[in-house]
Structure 1
Amino acid sequence: MTTRDLYLAIDVGTGSLRAALVARDGRIQAICHQEHEQIVPQFGWSEQRPADWWDGTRAVVRKVLAEVDNAAARVAAICTCGQMHGTVLVDDDGRLARETVPLWNDKRTAPQVAAFTANMYAEEVLRLTANLPATAWPAFKLAWLAENDPAAMARATTVLMPKDWINFRLTGRRAQDMTEASLSFLMDCRTRDWSERMCSLTGVDQGLLPELLAPQDILGPLLPEVAAELGLSAEIPVLVGAGDYPMALTGSGVIAPGMGSDVTGTSTIITLMHDAPVIDPEISNVLAADGTWGAMTLLDAGGDAVRWARRAFHDNARSYAEIAADAEAAKPGADKLFFLPYLSGERHHPGSRAQFFGLTAGHGLPELHRAVLEGVAFAVRRRLDGLQGDAGRPDRIVAASGGAKNALWLKIKASMYGVPYLVPEELECGVVGAAMLMATATGDAPDLATAARGMVRYAQEVTPDPAWADTYNRMAPVFDRLYQSANDLYPELDDLP
């Protein structure tokens, strides 16, 4: 008898649909993808066709099953994750009420957000949802659709998120998981159920909202016709799954209070785990797949600052490796040179600017490049204590995305925050997270903590350097004062011709 020893993970990404087969030890055996189009009807809008996601799902599942011997007979379960906030309208017959859906990065809801914010519900909604209004949240996408496509809204009987739409096509069941709902602006963070009050405030018909389930719950078996098309057994369980970011937290081993995540790409997303959300107007809170809360903050400063320095100082003629070698040649603290990294402003302070401070004739490119790396880390440090509430610094932070490949930057961050940094061996953390959920759902692991110990491995640990930490501890108050004093000048700067 064939052992069902493979987990089939599906990832509904913004750029592509991916499917992976993962072994019980968390190692990816095969992964395949198919790109899909992002539609931009006008500036600030971003849409996709759910039909393309379903076409991609069928294609990549068949493709990945062909990559591994006897894979179809070995699949134990299916779990989907995906881009969050994409608002799919489905009618009573299960058909799309609208061909395209606004995505997470669609900004057309700005007028709805502004109108809601003007009503001054901030304290109440922060207490209810652990978040403040944002253009990404599905509550505002539904408000826009009600105003601008009332015919589609009239036909719709359910709203689903991208991965929930795929789950519906796989199983015929309409549901949403709590990680997605936690960033919908419609879920009560205390009860983890839909909030009648938030539906009333935002004008959302609560009847559109599907049942809420936990990510590791089993949604159902595959529909027989889908199983036949994919070449899989109709008895294979399909899990509810989770949003891509909370699933990636799980797959990187960030699954308990005291742990943190640093995803540094163009921007920096720092997430620290807690038993309860951190209620703060500058912090967003997402429910992770294991049921803990991630207090998260997004800084527009990140890899974009390094990219800017490469362009501004070298006209892109030098490689990132050469620039990192330059920065490594400078002393910690860049010889008392500071860099405020707000090249594109900040999410909560859009008027912020970047600047070097303390520049002398003795500074050169090594100090400039090191100051850029340290400046981003100083900016993160300003937010860390707020993210932790009263819990102190996290025990460890797991690095992901492009920033995880810069060894010097990891050492700067570890020393800046006084926290060890870990780099996962497998950087496809969302896929590993889906496999971990499947391991618990099928009984291969008793809980997620056990699954993490068996399925998540770290290729590198970067510990704080005490001497560097001392330098940064002495510089941090100066950075904070510089940040505060510069804020007073930005309005005058904006008024200049």
Structure 2
Amino acid sequence: MAGNLTLAIDVGTGSVRSAIVDASGTILAMSALQHEQIVPQFGWSEQRPDDWWRGVVRTIREVLDKVPHARTNIDAIAACGQMHGTVLVDDAGQTVRDTAPLWNDKRTVGYVTAFERANRPETYLGDCANPPTPAWPAFKLQWLRDSDPDAYNRTSVVLMPKDYINLKLSGEIAMDRTDGGASFLMDPRTGQWSDKMIDLLGLDRTKLAPLRNPLEILGYVTRKAAIETGLREGTPVLVGAGDYPAALLGSGACRPGVGSEVMGTSAIITAIAKRPLLDPAVCNVGTVEGNWGAFMLLESGGDAMRWARRAFHGKQLTYADIVEKAAEAPPGSDRLFFMPYLAGERLGAHRNARAQFFGLGASHGIAHMHRAVLEGVAFAVKRHINVLDGISGEPLERIAASGGGAKTKLWMKIKASVYNLPILVPAEPESSIIGCAIMAATATGRFRNVEAAADAFVKYAEEVLPDPEWSGIYAPMQVFFERLYKHSQALYDDLDRLPHRR
């Protein structure tokens, strides 16, 4: 087996995965090792960086054993990882704290609230490309500065999870611009740290890692790392990227006009744009090829179906049973609407939004209600698409779908018809691993750019086209859904003021 192999590493929230990918973008071997998520108290979420490294060492050794001669034929190593996990490292390259707060850690809520009170969006959006949320490392650093000053003062550099793994592999320190752009501290116009945001948050610029492009060679596997992992000393290590930008690339979403929808517990819709789309309800992440991924999140995507299964059937029916039942109702559910805001909204002025059925009549049955849930999620995501299209001026032309919801045929057809866009399902669901392989193939000169590598590596198993009849029914319903969304907002605060049993 001659060269052109990539070692891809994904440091996820649930596990570390390592994979060997060949020159055609085929995964030859993959290994995973789960790690613990630590919850010291409600709303907190931490992990041990040393657990990530332990997982990397073990999974690399396992995949090297599975592929003959892989050790001598790996051209490059590309890592991606969960974003926002804030790792503090001293000047000897050792972690200052045993644990790092993760993306889903909420201990920074007070800092976010204080920032929102003191600053209007138009005064900072252009300097950081994002609205404030507890996920951003900027607020985690504020908390660490104030709550663990000894660790903060001993910190030489702040890294993201994949950067820590790269440090262990190569001995070199850097952060890429996809992780940097999702920190609340990087100026999107320059791709460098923003002095304005750093000063506004009272942080120390000297603790921030140098920002580099994902495709650059960061360094080479050290002798120590080679002994630990079984890798060849001197193997190139890329700067790499956050897991979400890597997954966007690995699903083929790397050009303006192309979108991505991750259909999991939540529904995340992302539009690739040439520059950040600045709006208090829109988040932006840098992409590997140098564009931006503007994304909006619906808290209850697949979770809406999970709620319906529990609320209507006490979990006794399967999801397939519910979809089969929904298929009995006509498209449009006989004008029954479902507003899918079961967990409120992540951003914007109405985070206390609620779910509701609207238009319920005596002729409606359980089939209508189940279909309305599927359609309501689609209408809510389409509202987000309309927001993104309106800001960018470059409407989405197609969407690459991933996640569990992409396996539900009826839901995919509903979404394609509501969006009036074709939806593509990648043949290889491990999109972040493929994204890493695309980065490595480009960095080693096999392709002229990442777009060309993505064209070669990403294949689609299915294209779901809009049903013209369904689209004709859904288009006026979408207009009504948006009106219902707007008019309902006036009632959320009133609802919160009503007395309730605690």
TM over 0.5: yes
User: Is the deviation greater in 228-237 or in 14-23?
Assistant: 228-237
Alignment match, 1:17: 16
SS class of match (2:152): helix
Map 1:273-288 onto structure 2 (within 5 A).
Answer: 273-288=272-287
Shift of 1:452: 1.2
Q: Distance in 2 between matches of 1:490 and 1:225?
A: 58
Alignment match, 2:38: 39
Give the aligned residue type for 1:358: G
Map 1:104-253 onto structure 2 (within 5 A).
Answer: 104-253=103-252
Q: Distance in 1 between matches of 2:128 and 2:217?
A: 26
Measured at CA, do residues 390 and 103 of structure 1 come closer, stay the same or move farther in structure 2, by a change above 3 Å? closer
Alignment match, 1:355: 356
Q: Distance in 2 between matches of 1:496 and 1:283?
A: 31
SS class of match (2:124): helix
- Sequence identity, in percent? 53
Contact 2:343 / 2:354 at 8 angstroms: preserved in 1? yes
Shift of 1:121: 4.5
Shift of 1:188: 0.2
Alignment match, 1:368: 369
Q: Distance in 2 between matches of 1:332 and 1:312?
A: 23
Q: Distance in 2 between matches of 1:66 and 1:438?
A: 21
Alignment match, 2:448: 446
User: Is the deviation greater in 350-359 or in 255-264?
Assistant: 350-359
Shift of 1:325: 1.2
Shift of 1:487: 1.7
Q: Does 1:69 align with 2:68?
A: yes
Shift of 1:301: 2.2
User: Is the deviation greater in 307-316 or in 184-193?
Assistant: 307-316
SS class of match (2:331): coil
Q: Distance in 2 between matches of 1:13 and 1:453?
A: 25
- Structure 2: tracts of 5 or more residues without a match: none
SS class of match (2:300): coil
Q: Deviations over 1:277-332 (max 9, x none)?
A: 11111100110111111110011120011011111111111111111111112111
Q: Distance in 2 between matches of 1:150 and 1:496?
A: 42
Shift of 1:5: 2.6
Q: Distance in 1 between matches of 2:392 and 2:230?
A: 52
Contact 1:393 / 1:419 at 8 angstroms: preserved in 2? no
Aligned length: 496
Map 1:313-352 onto structure 2 (within 5 A).
Answer: 313-347=312-346, 348=348, 349-352=350-353
Q: Does 1:393 align with 2:392?
A: no
Shift of 1:378: 0.8
Give the aligned residue type for 1:472: Y
Give the aligned residue type for 1:371: A
Q: Deviations over 1:156-178 (max 9, x none)?
A: 11111100000001011110000
Report the TM-score when normalising by structure 2: 0.97
Alignment match, 1:377: 378
Q: Distance in 1 between matches of 2:222 and 2:412?
A: 46
SS class of match (2:77): strand
Q: Distance in 1 between matches of 2:355 and 2:229?
A: 52
Q: Deviations over 1:214-264 (max 9, x none)?
A: 111100111112123322222211001000011100000000000000001
Q: Distance in 1 between matches of 2:36 and 2:52?
A: 10
User: Is the deviation greater in 120-129 or in 143-152?
Assistant: 120-129
SS class of match (1:385): helix
Contact 1:110 / 1:135 at 8 angstroms: preserved in 2? yes
Give the aligned residue type for 1:450: A
RMSD across aligned positions (CA): 1.1
Q: Deviations over 1:24-79 (max 9, x none)?
A: 11111111011111111000001111111111111110011111122212211101
Contact 2:272 / 2:291 at 8 angstroms: preserved in 1? yes
Report the TM-score when normalising by structure 1: 0.98
Alignment match, 1:429: 431
Alignment match, 2:464: 462
Shift of 1:447: 1.3
User: Is the deviation greater in 392-401 or in 189-198?
Assistant: 392-401
Q: Distance in 1 between matches of 2:229 and 2:461?
A: 35
SS class of match (1:363): coil
Q: Distance in 2 between matches of 1:271 and 1:398?
A: 10
Contact 1:385 / 1:392 at 8 angstroms: preserved in 2? no
